[in-house]
Amino acid sequence: MLVVVSSPSGGGKGTLIRRVLKIVPDLGYSVSFTTRAPREGEEHGRHYFFVPVEKFREMASAGAFLEWAVVHGNLYGTAHAQVERELAEGHDIILEIDVQGADSVRRLVSDAVTVFILPPSFEILRERLTGRGSEEPDELTLRLMNARQEVAAYRRFDYVIINDDADRAAAQLASVIYAERARLVRQEEAAQCVLETFSQ
């Protein structure tokens, strides 16, 4: 199962996903490729694969990406290889991607589960993004400006979680994943195995 998590920058995707990865078993994370510069503390291969624009373009031409998009002026993409590796290991996988990426995945993977994280208000988003201290003032302004369009996309998602209290919101994201795992279509095989034990 592919779980797409989107929000405006500073909405809390990273915070909630980190918590959920700790509590939900058999869940992987797709490390994206990006052309943006690493932030302090970000590691190549863990937070992103940081690549030059030419390399990214080459990969895109070679069909290496399930989806890619220009976000806040940089290129970001989900590699097929990342997703397939996790799925092959029997993991569900979280894609932390923007609303354009979510649109692409929705078109390509009809049973992908999509979740939009909304901050409680624009003012709180501004405070949290400013408090994170990871962007220069111009970049921060751009991200807050783009947030106004991004939040309007929430209706295209299967689930909407308001990130007021981080513990509560993370529990809700975990609940969505658990509930989606229990859907009849995803349980047919396991249920059949159980039923076989009844016919002996």
Which one of ligand ADP, ligand 5GP, none interacts with residue 28, CB within 5 to 8 A by kind? none
CB environment 2-32: b (16+ within 10 A), e (fewer): bbbbbbbbbbbbbbbbebbeeebeebbbbbb
Residues 66-85 that bind ligand 5GP (CB under 6 A): 67, 69, 71-72, 76-78
Which one of ligand 5GP, ligand ADP, none interacts with residue 101, CB within 5 to 8 A by kind? ligand 5GP
Task: Give the Cβ contact number of residue 126 at 10 Å.
Answer: 16
The 25-44 contact track toward ligand 5GP, x by CB under 6 A, reads -------x---x--------
User: Strands, E, within 154-198: which ranges?
Assistant: 159-162
User: Strands, E, within the chain: which ranges?
Assistant: 2-6, 27-29, 32-34, 48-50, 65-71, 74-79, 92-96, 113-118, 159-162
Which one of ligand 5GP, ligand ADP, none interacts with residue 2, CB within 5 to 8 A by kind? none
Residues 88-117 that bind ligand 5GP (CB under 6 A): 96-98, 100-101
Q: Which residues bind ligand 5GP (CB under 6 A)?
A: 9, 13, 32, 36, 67, 69, 71-72, 76-78, 96-98, 100-101
